[in-house]
Amino acid sequence: MSLPLYLAMMKNHGKMLGGFIYGASAYIVLIIWIYPSIADMKGFNEMIAALPEGMRKLIGMENGINSLSDYIAGEFYGMLLLIILMVYVILTSTRVMARLVDQGSMAYLLATPNSRVKVAITQAAVLLTGLALIVGFTTLSGIAASEWLIDGYQLDVPSFITLNLLTFLVFSSIAGYCFFISSVNNDEKKALGISAGITLLFYMLNMAGKLSEKTEWMLNFTIFKWYDPIKMINNETEALWIGCALGILTFLLFMLSVAAFKKRNLPL
């Protein structure tokens, strides 16, 4: 890794990253803040129960809202954060590689005594640092808000942290294949299109898979199968196994990307 490049890229990247961090943190604080009024609302769970099952699964409220944890996991991790992280990962992975090759500024980075491998690893580090910062700040904001902003409702902090770690790992894997696509493409728009296309396909398979039992097989073809926030926060998943598997997958995808970038012809 090249430290000067890493710092320059982080700085370059700061504004956009700041926006994502601010969006995610502010929203989790807001959603925790209004939790007491929803929990106290009579008939809310009955209303949810009246929805068809597929629908309930889709909005992450199979069993209604029974605890703060369920609520945060279902409402935020299952919906908005998922979209925020998806957008961040797709945009950033395209920016750190394909864009530099497409525009030609990669030529300058490789005209210094830093190998392609080193440059690619630095860019991967920038991508993963950004992702870690978003998830990290969200975690901290979530814990802080549930401690200080509301009274009488307890957030199980260790499980919440587990959820966040797994979230980070799931999106690292997504970052992994997006980074691969970005590393082998000369055209920024094409890389963006392919990454977004694949990820949306995964997302739709996930939605469709949850709709009914007939479509459940679709879940086997999407990475979001591994991402079930409510189960994660209730410790109903094999967190350790899934975590390790995702970690290894991420590592392999990034290795593959760096190797592909090293070997390929660059149109600089």
Partner 1 sequence: MIQVKGLSKRFTDKKGLFDLNFEVKKGEVFGYIGPNGAGKSTTIRHLMGFVKPDSGYSSIDGMDCWKNAARIQEKTGYLPGEIVFLEGMTGLGFLSLVQKMRKQECIKRRDELIERFQLDVNSPIRKMSKGMKQKVGIIAAFMHSPQVLILDEPTSGLDPLMQRVFIDLILEEKQNNKTILMSSHSFQEIERTCDSAGIIKDGKLVALEDMHLLRRVQRRVFEVKVKSEGDMEQIIQSPLVTEVKGARTIHVTVQGNDQEFVQLLSRCDVQHIDTRPQDLEDIFMHYYDRREVEK
User: Which residues here bind partner 1, judged by CB under 8 A?
Assistant: 2, 4-5, 8, 12, 100, 103-105, 107-116, 118, 263, 265-268
Separation between Cα atoms, residue 14 and residue 28, nearest integer Å: 21
Shortest CB 81 distance to partner 1, Å = 27
Q: Which CB, 4 or 52, lies closer to partner 1? A: 4
Q: Which CB, 214 or 263, lies closer to partner 1? A: 263
Shortest CB 257 distance to partner 1, Å = 18
Shortest CB 268 distance to partner 1, Å = 5
Shortest CB 118 distance to partner 1, Å = 7
Q: Which CB, 1 or 165, lies closer to partner 1? A: 1
Shortest CB 108 distance to partner 1, Å = 7
Q: Which CB, 220 or 265, lies closer to partner 1? A: 265
Single-letter residue type at 160: F
Q: Which CB, 1 or 211, lies closer to partner 1? A: 1
Q: Which CB, 219 or 268, lies closer to partner 1? A: 268
Shortest CB 88 distance to partner 1, Å = 18
